[in-house]
Chains A and B, each alone.
Chain A
Amino acid sequence: MAIGTPGAQGSRGADLDVRAITKRFGAVVAVEAVSFTVRAGEFFSLLGPSGCGKTTTLRAIGGFETVDEGDILIGGRPMGRLPPNRRETNMVFQRLALFPHYSVFDNVSFGLRMRGLPAADRARRVGEALARVELGNLGARRIGELSGGQQQRVALARALVNEPRVLLLDEPLSALDLKLRLQLQEELKRLQRSLGTTFIYVTHDQGEALAMSDRIGVMASGRLEQVGTPLEIYERPATRFVAGFIGDANLVEAVVEAVDGDGLVARVGEARVRARRQGWERDGTSLTVCIRPERVRVTRPDGRPDGLLGRVEDRAFSGSLVKYRLAVPGLRLHAAVPYIHGTALFDVGDAVAVGWEGDQAVTVPP
């Protein structure tokens, strides 16, 4: 097992190479031909709804599941059927799995002990790890005497003290309340930057993934739908699922009428809408137009022939935003309009024109 400063691995390219792995549980295919690579020092999230295969993928990387097809390379070495104790990974478990019969100190020193480090070195490194997660003075406590947030930090220290090449995190914050979760998100990100350790972070919370990750792999039904930076998957969702899962989105079925340069015009029933092109669209292609609610403009009807005409079906005021549900013939759209003093509000039942700048909407395969 490599011991050394994790930051030193930064220049070595891929730390983790997942090659076409498939995992079946009986007749159920939990993970199907999933491939991705993660660079050293990267914060990579696997994001998807429950049952999408993200945790199984993570467990396969850690050695808790053997894959039926494909292989996983860590630091260039194929893992095959190596057990968890012989991989350069450490895991932060969803239910933390702290040892209740050990003190905080003994929990954190467990991995070092298994590697046969002398007691003095163990004490020093455990001390450093506990200090890093701001638990410096709690080493003697029992696990049961700690709060949820403190237990979370112990779990993190217990994994990080081993200086793993890749740290695996299985929804570690899901059990905490919102405020603590946001605080720990920030701490986790800061810790990851300062250590330079590669993080593989599994979550079903898209906000968490967008805020923390360098890149995100979005999974659905055992398949990897898209890999990209948070901005890429938000701005250019590769599939309808990704468009709907990341952020809020209006997904509108349309048929391409005219392609022009970077944009296109598509027909929605009788109306026409504009969208950014991704490149594969042709005249007559059926596709989905994805438009984020905050990019939808709601105005008084001005008699222009294009554009969509609709009626306000519902309105919700939330302080900084006014959210409208709009009925447009053949579809329903959501709009979120920023609210500042003086912004005119529409009432339920008002007739409105609905539109957006052409490059604010994007096409997605149907």
Chain B
Amino acid sequence: MRVRGGLAALLLAPVLALTVALYVVPLGVYLVNGFYRFKDGRILREWTLDTYRAFLTDAFSYKIVSTSLLLAGIVTALALVVGYPLAYALHTRVKSARARAVLAVVLFCPLMISVVVRTYGWLILLANQGLVNMTLLRLGVIDQPIRLLFNMQGVVISLTHILLPFAIFPIYSVLGNLDPSLKEAARDLGAGPWATFWRVTLPLTLPGVASGGVICFTLALSAFVTPQLLGGGRVQVLPLTVYNSTVEINWPEGAVTSVALLALSILAVWAVNRGLRRLPIGVRL
């Protein structure tokens, strides 16, 4: 859609103003700290690249980056693997529009509850005396509780649940736009249900998978509450470092870590977009 210059400016002005005033300016002010020196618990206003140098040469920061990427990667993969079949079932198996609407609300419901509340919910479920462990013990699957809290497992489980709707809805929406006669054509040409899925449905819904994946990945990368509450200090990720540094008045370190986080997110979006460009379907994020 093309909008005439004057009107376009008018329509874009409020959101641009808000973005600049509430996002770009504070972010800039904060990020400038990355070039200041931090010494003896104080920020000194002298220009330096020392904080960057320290971040890039410290093996611990690579550990944090790799933990962050691992967490985001696993959560994204799980959300897509669980979300795709769900979206597919919602699209193909639920015939009545009413039932579909109800299910969509049920799937969206978790988003209306604070992440803090949901994370505490998982705290109760995953505890040693929690529902998951008690059930597995009763069933005789395990003979002593497995540790699901204050480690990676707990964060992954909880974060996957929290981000699931963000994986489902892009896929569901792309499925809905797929011409149903494409599937029929594949069946008509001799493909069984599986071949139809692998050769037609899945390739044509990859743009949805990609956008769902990018949303999950960036949200998982910047997740704070869940790793904080369920990680028990053992899941050290970038947002936690930013938080801890900021609390300790080490704004230079917080700023540099923020830049790393931002760079990784931008990189992920760029990489997926580049991958999508090679698809013949012409969908971009």
Q: Which residues of A does B touch, CB under 8 Å?
A: 1, 62-64, 83-85, 89-91, 93-95, 97-101, 110-111, 114-115, 142, 144, 158-159, 162
Beyond A83-B187, A114-B191, A158-B189, 4 extra complex contacts between A and B, CB < 8 Å: A84-B187, A91-B185, A93-B184, A162-B189
Taking a contact as CB atoms under 8 Å apart, the answer to whether B204 and A110 are in contact is: no
In the complex, A93 Cα to B189 Cα: how many Å? 12
- Docked-complex contact A100 and B188, CB < 8 angstroms: no
CA of A4 to CA of B167 in the docked complex: distance in angstroms?
48
**Which residues of chain B in 1-30 are interfacial with respect to chain A, using CB atoms and an 8 Å cutoff?**
none
**Is there contact, CB below 8 Å, between A62 and B280?**
no
- Cβ–Cβ contact A110 & B279, under 8 A: no
Contacts of A64 on B, CB cut-off 8 Å? 184, 187-188
* Chain A residues within an 8 Å CB radius of B204: 99-101
Task: From known contacts A101-B279, A114-B195, infer whether A85 and B185 are also in contact, taking CB-CB under 8 Å.
Answer: no
Q: Which of B179-214 contact A (CB under 8 A)?
A: 179, 181-182, 184-192, 195, 199-200, 203-204
Determine the residue in chain B with the shortest Cβ distance to A116: B190
Cα separation A89 to B187 with both chains bound (whole Å): 11
- Report if B281 contacts A (CB, 8 A): yes
Give the interface of B toward A (CB within 8 A): 179, 181-182, 184-192, 195, 199-200, 203-204, 279-282
- Most chain B CB atoms below 10 A, which of A101, A111, A158, A162: A101
Most A Cβ at <10 Å: residue of B187, B200, B203: B187
Question: Does A115 contact B190, Cβ atoms closer than 8 Å?
Answer: yes
23 residue pairs A–B, Cβ–Cβ below 8 Å: A62-B188, A63-B188, A64-B187, A84-B184, A85-B192, A91-B188, A93-B181, A97-B179, A97-B182, A97-B184, A97-B185, A99-B182, A99-B186, A100-B204, A100-B280, A101-B203, A101-B204, A101-B281, A110-B189, A110-B191, A111-B189, A114-B189, A144-B282
**Given A95-B181, A100-B204, A101-B204, A90 contacting B279 (CB threshold 8 A):** no
Q: B280 contacts A111, CB within 8 Å?
A: no
Most A-side CB within 10 Å, residue of B190, B199, B281: B190
Which of A85, A94, A95 is in CB contact (< 8 Å) with B191?
A85
| B residues in contact with A84, CB < 8 Å | 184, 187-188
Residues of A within 8 A of B282 (CB): 144
Inside 8 A of B184's CB, which chain A residues have their CB?
Answer: 64, 84, 91, 93, 97
The reply to whether B280 and A101 form a contact with Cβ atoms under 8 Å apart is yes
Shortest Cβ gap from B44 to chain A (Å): 57
Among A94, A98, A100, A114, the residue within 8 A (CB) of B190 is A114
**Which B residues lie within 8 Å of A158 (CB)?**
189
What distance in Å separates the Cβ of A83 from its nearest Cβ neighbour in chain B? 6
Find chain B residues with CB under 8 A from A159 CB.
Answer: 188-189
Q: A63 to chain B: which residues have CB within 8 Å?
A: 187-188
Interchain CB contact under 8 A, A85 and B181: no
- Most B C-beta atoms less than 10 A away, residue of A64, A114, A144, A162: A114
Q: Which of A89, A94, A98 has the most CB of B within 10 A?
A: A98
A15 vs chain B, min Cβ distance (A): 17
Contact present for A95 and B179 (CB under 8 Å): yes
Chain B's nearest CB lies how many Å from the CB of A2? 13
The complex places the Cα of A99 from the Cα of B280 at a distance, in Å, of 11
Known: A91-B185, A93-B181. A99 touches B200 (CB 8 A): yes
Inter-chain contacts of A62 with B (CB < 8 A) = 188
Task: Give Cα distance in the complex from A85 to B188, angstroms.
Answer: 5
A85 engages B187 (CB within 8 Å): yes
Question: Cα distance A187–B281 when bound, in Å?
Answer: 31
Task: Tell me which residues across on chain B come within 8 A of A162, comparing CB atoms.
Answer: 189-190
Distance (Å) between the CB of B160 and the closest chain A CB? 29
What residues on B are CB-neighbors of A93 within 8 Å?
Answer: 181, 184-185
Q: Which residue of A lies closest to B195 (CB)?
A: A114
B190 near A85 with CB under 8 A, answer yes
Question: What residues of chain A lie closer than 8 Å to B179, measured between beta carbons?
Answer: 95, 97
Contacts of A100 in B (CB 8 A): 204, 280-281
- The minimal Cβ–Cβ distance linking B149 to chain A, given in whole angstroms, is 44
The minimal Cβ–Cβ distance linking A145 to chain B, given in whole angstroms, is 10
Output the nearest chain A residue to B196 by Cβ-Cβ distance: A85
User: Closest approach, in angstroms, between the C-beta of B283 and any C-beta of chain A?
Assistant: 11
CB <8 Å contact, A142 and B280 = yes
